[in-house]
Structure 1
């Protein structure tokens, strides 16, 4: 944006140099400022814009600190990547640069006078627009520190990643009878461990490059790390299965397929988006905060994400080239639907002991997710989560009224899961709460 401002300034200065003085004299109220007036106006605009840019930066930093303390530091990248923050700061700094470039061309004198009237007028127009930009930015900052905005922003980014990473709707999954046979066969073959050349989180993996390497060298590559996991330098990253002499260039080629950095991103790691919402919920459930509403809001958006995942096909780890060779060349380490569900609910459930509202909302979320899938394995995963929530409620909730609320929701959840037979094994009170006349 600063570069664009420089280009605009040079362009308007060139237009001013070719503009007819007679035309400018026809509109003295617009173009009648002299050299001193134009210089003073641009100086005032430049000074105010750099001051506003500093204010914008301060407000952004304050918001980051507040969000980090109240929610979780993992959402800071969402603020840093926010286009509105970038555009506002770029606008003010760009306008400051524009004024500086135009200001240096103003010359006053009897013989060598040059007043870029169009450039000065355009700078004034941009300054007036800047007032509106500042007002909008203050509104945006006030909105961006609200829990609902922060949670929905993280959820939207995660849902976009889900659509990108799991584009297919789930149908009838083809049975993979050879899975155990393949694993047993690979377990008895010689293997060489390819070490990681860096430490950090795995942001992305070029599976096509790994498959091409395995196919061209007629070996099997088994990924030891999945996206989002932390790897330590010189620890196993990939296992090469087969009789093949690994060279240093091969190790470099395999490592180049992995993007390792100091932090996680949602680009290929939908689990990181879930992790952000879980962190917000855990912070809200902590004794120092005790914000049940924010925790429930996080659970609601987690149910949206998991409902999307429940409808999607999560690829099997085995990669073959069926058209040419049925041999397995790549065994990828994939996150399963069960992994996503556990990552979303386990820690929240463990920290929600005795909190009736959160436990009820967890059961509602499980029922909502179950309504979006007919896959038996995924329904079993959700059933296990519902049972864990009910058992925790039985241990931690003593009030009969609250226990009955949880049992009613547990009953509805089991009905959605078509597993009503599990209701009888739980000792949650089924008695109705006492009422007064």
Structure 2
């Protein structure tokens, strides 16, 4: 039940800062109570000289806390303004869809959260200072709070260094395609078993339609649907695939063997863009987008396209012997309760190679790398999966032969090379 919610919160940028500020308020409350307890204990022992010393130390620390309060918000604005410009440049160079890497970055959220928490803490600490200077009447000396603020400043500096390093990596194509590949393979690792037979479901007895706003099908709450289907003794089939655009009134769930309440349709989550959570093809989509942009006349960067092809081949190699297609979700008794259609092997091969192949004729580096990748995959896949790979190899050969007039250039462009040209 928590998995879709966790993924949706990871795609937001507001949740972590709010939680951190609530936590820092609670921490400040505890530090205030500790400061009050220290003063109360010293007053009980009539240690007024020690209280006076603490007041002097706290007054010295007040200057530092005031400086932190004044500088932190400006620092936050400058740092993140520059970072957003860098992310915008990276999205223009690679693909707009890589912005979500920045949004989902844990170090980015941690840095922003700690910066805001430090600013909030400095303001709260300043409210704890009293105008009273007589040790006999002082109720709190914010010494612990000031020390806590200095600790938060030190943590902010450390996170700032890590944040700058992460942001600079985000502008490097190798790091970006590696992140995309890692997330794509993590989706595969979380998928349930494919390929087992469900049996004939029969004609649907009911349909659930989408009644909300239009959007891209991001994911479904599998636990909720499986539990609802088990309670009503039915089997559900998800009609659109993850990543499809759904409009109001579209049938989204077919019910086999009975009826279910209409509220089960709310287990299907729609958004403005695709996410990695349950979308097996989204990683290949992003890699193909980056390669296409790199091969455009405005960019003309075939080496980036080759790096994307490296990762496309890697993902397809992992999928080479994995059963694909419809996913069967079972209840605890082992009965299939939800059938979810997924991409077939041919769909994924076409997604990874079709558009890039159309731009490969003008770059021998890309055609040579694609041929090498197709040859490697042909050596890995079983016989029944070779057809789409053979088709793409033949189409690439025809494309290069028709676009390159010189025989020597054609022979060079059609030579298999894992580094493209090198």
TM-score grouping bracket, smaller chain normalisation:
0.7 to 0.9
CA displacement, residues 67-104 of structure 1 (integer Å, 9 cap, x when unaligned): 22111111111111111110111111111111111211
Q: SS of the residue aligned with 2:414?
A: helix
Q: TM-score, normalised by structure 1?
A: 0.77
Matched, 1:355 2:363: yes
Go from structure 1 to structure 2 and tell me whether the alpha carbon gap of 1:392 and 1:36 turns closer, same or farther (over 3 Å shift): same
Contact 2:236 2:339 in 1 (8 A): yes
Go from structure 1 to structure 2 and tell me whether the alpha carbon gap of 1:151 and 1:10 turns closer, same or farther (over 3 Å shift): same
User: Which residue in 1 is equivalent to 2:148?
Assistant: 122
Q: Distance in 2 between matches of 1:110 and 1:208?
A: 61
Go from structure 1 to structure 2 and tell me whether the alpha carbon gap of 1:287 and 1:258 turns closer, same or farther (over 3 Å shift): same
Number of residues paired by the alignment?
388
Q: Which of 159, 169, 182 is residue 156 of structure 1 equivalent to? A: 182
Matched, 1:84 2:104: no
Q: SS of the residue aligned with 2:286?
A: helix
Q: SS of the residue aligned with 1:289?
A: coil
Matched, 1:339 2:332: no
Matched, 1:388 2:395: yes
| Correspondences of 1:36-47 after superposition (within 5 Å) | 36-47=59-70
User: Which residue in 2 is equivalent to 1:232?
Assistant: 247
User: Which residue in 2 is equivalent to 1:424?
Assistant: none
User: Which residue in 2 is equivalent to 1:303?
Assistant: 313
Q: SS of the residue aligned with 1:260?
A: strand
User: Which residue in 2 is equivalent to 1:196?
Assistant: 210
Matched, 1:64 2:83: no
Go from structure 1 to structure 2 and tell me whether the alpha carbon gap of 1:190 and 1:109 turns closer, same or farther (over 3 Å shift): closer
Q: Distance in 1 between matches of 2:146 and 2:227?
A: 59
Q: Distance in 1 between matches of 2:72 and 2:144?
A: 20
Go from structure 1 to structure 2 and tell me whether the alpha carbon gap of 1:195 and 1:119 turns closer, same or farther (over 3 Å shift): closer
Go from structure 1 to structure 2 and tell me whether the alpha carbon gap of 1:38 and 1:314 turns closer, same or farther (over 3 Å shift): same
Q: Distance in 2 between matches of 1:107 and 1:331?
A: 66
Q: SS of the residue aligned with 1:269?
A: coil
Contact 1:9 1:101 in 2 (8 A): yes
Which structure: larger Rg?
A: 1
Contact 1:220 1:240 in 2 (8 A): yes
Go from structure 1 to structure 2 and tell me whether the alpha carbon gap of 1:123 and 1:216 turns closer, same or farther (over 3 Å shift): closer
Q: SS of the residue aligned with 2:269?
A: strand
Q: Which of 33, 51, 55 is residue 14 of structure 1 equivalent to? A: 33
